[in-house]
Amino acid sequence: MEITLTLNGNKITASVAPDTVLLDFLREHGCASVKCGCETSGCGLCTVFLDDKPVLSCSVPVVRADGHKVTTLEGLQEEAAEFIGFIADQGAEQCGFCNPGFVMNTIALLRENPDPTDDEIRAYLAGNLCRCSGYEGQTRGIRAYLNAKKEGRL
């Protein structure tokens, strides 16, 4: 099947098997940030935006993205750079495997709710599993970033 979608701002047309998964398609098109962690829709590592909504790319047949906009971390470098250092400062990035999905979903959270409480941060990121950090460092990192922003330190 032939599909056309906008990937990180670039229109691409490709021929795909009907059951190609979006995750595989994205990796084949140079988006190495998109990784497969569980393949059972449970870990959040493969998060990308489909028309600006965070979704699990391991769970979407790419034919469903036909005519739509897909954004990966490769297309959001600037937005991610704003807060990623705060997370690293808290030691929350250990093996780093969960990081791309976590960063994508944090961007989605902050776009939807620019001033979340810690409970709102935890609730929004509940679908992003991390085997190393215990999550506290990540919450602290986001909090530190939000505080820095409020205090005009950014």
Ligand X SMILES: Cc1cc2nc3c(=O)[nH]c(=O)nc-3n(C[C@H](O)[C@H](O)[C@H](O)COP(=O)(O)OP(=O)(O)OC[C@H]3O[C@@H](n4cnc5c(N)ncnc54)[C@H](O)[C@@H]3O)c2cc1C
Chain residues binding ligand FES by CB under 6 A are 36-39, 41-46, 56, 58, 93-98, 130-133
Q: Cβ distance 52 to 30 under 8 Å?
A: no
Candidates 2-10, 23-31, 37-45, 105-113: pick the segment binding ligand X (CB under 6 A): 37-45
Closest to ligand FES by CB, 75 vs 141, is 141
Q: Which residues, 113 to 132, sit near another protein by CB under 8 A?
A: 123-128
Candidates 7-15, 26-34, 44-52, 92-100: pick the segment binding another protein (CB under 8 A): 44-52
**How far from 80 is each of 4, 9, 143, 145, CA to CA, in Å?**
27, 17, 15, 12
List 41, 77, 113, 117, residue binding ligand X (CB under 6 A): 41
Beta-carbon contacts of residue 57 (< 8 Å; ≥ 6 apart): 21, 22, 23, 26, 34, 46, 47, 48
List 4, 17, 42, 96, residue binding ligand X (CB under 6 A): 42
Candidates 23-31, 36-44, 97-105, 107-115: pick the segment binding ligand X (CB under 6 A): 36-44
Q: Cβ distance 90 to 139 under 8 Å?
A: no
How far apart are the C-alpha atoms of 24 and 58, rounded to whole Å? 8
List 10, 13, 15, 40, residue binding ligand X (CB under 6 A): 40
Give residues in contact with another protein (CB under 8 A): 1, 18-19, 21, 39-42, 44, 47, 50, 53-56, 59-61, 63-64, 105, 108, 123-128
